[in-house]
Copies of this chain bind each other. A is one copy, B any other.
Amino acid sequence: MTGVSPRERVAAFVPRNPAWEKKSREIFERQSFMRMIGVRIATLAPGYCELELPYRDDLCQQNVYLHGGVVTSIADTSCGIASSTLLAPDAGILSVEFKYNMMAAAAGERFIARGRVVRPGKTLTVAESAVFAIKDGVEIEIGRMLATMMFLEGKGGMQGAAARARRRRLSVWSTRVSAITWAI
C-alpha cells in the first residue's frame, strides 16, 4: 500500500507477553486441524506469522486445486497466530470474522500464508493475510484475507486434554450456555 500510516512506520508491535513466541507456538500446536493437513510455522515475529502447507491430493476441490476452505484455513490461522503474538500473558484469542478473495487457482507444490496485524487493539485486532502458491520456485499470490480477531482477557485457553475432559462433562449444551460462552 502506497499510503502507510504512522502506526505502521513505527511498527508498534511490542508484545505484552515476554513469552509471546512460546505462547503463539503452543496455540498453533494445539490446533489439531493444522497438524492433520500438514501446516507448519515458517516464520514468527511480533505481529507476523508465515505458514507453509505442501500440496496434498486429499485437500482438493473438484478441479484438483486446493479447496478454497483449506486455503482460507491457513489464511485464518496466519492472522490468528500473528495476532496472538500481541496477547497479554493470560489472554486467549478467537476469530470474529473474515473475508477471503480467491484471486487465482490454488495450484502449486506448496502454499504460503503470510498473516500480518494491521491494527492492534485491546479487544479487537484487524489482521490481513496474503496467500501464495509456489510452483517451480515461482510465487504467485492466489488470495487475500481481511480479518477481525478478538482478545479474551483471562481466558488463555486450556490444554487439549483438559479441554476435552471438560467438554465431555458438559451434559447439556443449550442456547443459554452458548450465548454465555460467546458473549464475552
Contacts and interface: CB of A to CB of B under 8 A. Distances in A.
A1 B62 CA distance: 26
A99 B102 contact: no
Contact of A99 (B1, B48, B97, B174): B97
> Contact residue range for chain A?
35 or more
Contact of A174 (B2, B59, B138): B138
Contact of A1 (B36, B59, B128): B128
Interface in A115-170: 116, 118-119, 121-124, 126, 128, 130, 132-133, 135-136, 138-142, 144, 146, 148, 150, 157-158, 160, 163-164, 167
Interface string A20-39: 00000011101111111000
A14 interface: no
Interface of A: 1-3, 5-8, 26-28, 30-36, 48, 50, 57-64, 67-70, 72-74, 76-77, 92, 94-105, 107-108, 112, 114, 116, 118-119, 121-124, 126, 128, 130, 132-133, 135-136, 138-142, 144, 146, 148, 150, 157-158, 160, 163-164, 167, 171-175, 178-179, 181-184
13 contacts: A1-B130, A26-B62, A27-B62, A34-B67, A63-B158, A68-B76, A96-B124, A103-B182, A104-B179, A107-B167, A121-B182, A121-B184, A140-B173
